Structure 1
Amino acid sequence: MTAADAPLPGTLQVWSDIACPWASLAVYRLRAARERLGLELDVRVDHRAFPLELANGRPVPPLADEAVQVLALEPGFGVRPWSGEHGEWPGSFLDALGAVSAAKDERVGGLAASEALDWALRRALFVSSRPVGTAQEVLAVAREVPEVDADALAGLLDAGREAVRRDFGLVGELGIEGSPHVLLSDGTSVFNPGIGDDGSDDPGVWDELLRRALAPEG
């Protein structure tokens, strides 16, 4: 791991796959807690890739039905069943993950653009049934995100895909258990925050994680 890979103070590093319903639940709750605490300008989100297809060695299976159940925990997300209107469920999300990584480039919009694109892709998938597995559909979503320069992003998708594979190469070293997993600069490392193996659910964990991200080191 290089210094560039380490979480920075004031940043929540979120490792996940856009296809993962539990990750979208986590991101929704993170964003809601940050807004409620008035920390939108103080705590940023650095999205890193935990590609399920590389972890499992096979295409991502349809997760739309699971998403309806999982995201029903937060009605504000607005999850809907997969309509099939725009196509079949995509088996690969490397282009989507790569675009989120590439959007961190200042020519595209930086970390704010990356976070906005990640959120837009999750909602496109689980609310609008858009098959965001192709570069074409990813860029179509990107053009709807004000923070993103989609033309600049189009030229960086190859680099983004390389970044996804590099991220995946770090998961063992960093102890990333799956999607979602949160790292903070103080050493906090949490898999699927608030969700217990016993079925317990504590959304309030995000308040504490945000406060830890905000606190100065030392």
Structure 2
Amino acid sequence: MTKLRVDIWSDIACPWCYVGKARFDKAVQQLDGKVEVEVRHRSFELDPHREPGDVDAVVPMIAKKYGISPAQAQANEYKLGDLAKAEGLAYRTEGRDHGNTFDLHRLLHLASERGLEAEAWKAFYIANFADEASVFERERVIEVAVAAGLDKDEVVAVLDDPAAYREAVRADEAEAAALGATGVPFFVIDEKYGVSGAQPTELFAEILEKAWGEKKPALTTINGADDAEACGPDGCAIETPPQA
């Protein structure tokens, strides 16, 4: 039987995507041997209209966007840090940046073509949420991509060509819109179940098991003649031929 396909729409700038993917991964680990999963990462920009190079500090950006005080915005970051820590993730609660992620998504599509999708997503998540250096600086982007296994010349070529993988990113975003996804993370399991948000590990495991059970075809038993021969736990009954 083929693997259970899971499409995950995310953005590198989304802390709930970072936490949600960790919870999802734990569910997959819990079901190891029971459910086989194939993950496809899909692009979704939280701030698609932000100009490249327009980078803000996270806390004042959140305060302005949601109309809350800087203190409240910082408190939210501390809360997210605690949630990330609970999932075994590093999270820098102060001094992070926020910017346009379009180039990152284009590089993530390159990584997918090179068989390095999981490695690149993980590398960029860690670079954005855990590392000191801003992931919105060109040289840092190149450094992270190369560390994930991508060829430096290919990375630079993509960054220098605004059209490279542009349509792939836009296609992902258009599909998300068609599915009714207005936020991320957004998980689509076997093209049947949509799961929105960083749900608990237990819920992910429950849905994965359900989808896997439905994917496996049910066995229909057809009863024929009542005297059809069969073997059982005690062996095979053999009719004794009549004596000559």
TM-score by structure 2 length?
A: 0.66
Aligned residues: 191
Q: Is this contact kept in 1: 2:106–2:169, CA < 8 A?
A: yes
Q: Which SS does the other structure have where 1:159 is aligned?
A: coil
Q: 2:105 aligns with which of 97, 106, 109?
A: 97
Q: Indicate how the Cα distance of structure 1 residues 80 and 208 shifts in structure 2: closer, same or farther if over 3 A, else same.
A: same
Q: Is this contact kept in 1: 2:9–2:176, CA < 8 A?
A: no
Q: Is this contact kept in 1: 2:110–2:165, CA < 8 A?
A: yes
Q: Is this contact kept in 2: 1:17–1:50, CA < 8 A?
A: yes
1:129 aligns with 2:129: no
Q: Provide Cα deviations, 1:93-150, integer angstroms capped at 9, x if missing partner.
A: 1111221122111xx22xxx111211111111111133223443222112222xx333
The one-letter amino acid paired with 1:207 is A
The structure having more radius of gyration, on CA atoms, is 2
Q: Which SS does the other structure have where 1:143 is aligned?
A: helix
RMSD: 2.9
Q: Which SS does the other structure have where 1:52 is aligned?
A: coil
Q: Which SS does the other structure have where 2:32 is aligned?
A: coil
1:27 aligns with 2:21: yes
Q: CA deviation at 1:217?
A: 5.8
List alignment gaps of at least 5 residues for structure 1: 1-7, 195-201
Q: Provide Cα deviations, 1:179-210, integer angstroms capped at 9, x if missing partner.
A: 1111122410121042xxxxxxx331121233
**Partner Cα distance (2:77, 2:5) in 1:** 27
**Partner Cα distance (2:132, 2:207) in 1:** 31
Higher strand share: 2
**Partner Cα distance (2:35, 2:154) in 1:** 24
Q: Which SS does the other structure have where 2:181 is aligned?
A: coil
1:78 aligns with 2:72: no
Q: CA deviation at 1:72?
A: 1.4
Give 1:163's aligned residue.
168
List alignment gaps of at least 5 residues for structure 2: 60-73, 218-244
1:39-118 matches, cutoff 5 A: 42-54=36-48, 57-58=49-50, 62-63=57-58, 65=74, 66-75=76-85, 76-83=88-95, 89-105=97-113, 108-109=114-115, 113-118=116-121
Give 1:208's aligned residue.
206
**Partner Cα distance (2:81, 2:41) in 1:** 20
The one-letter amino acid paired with 1:208 is E
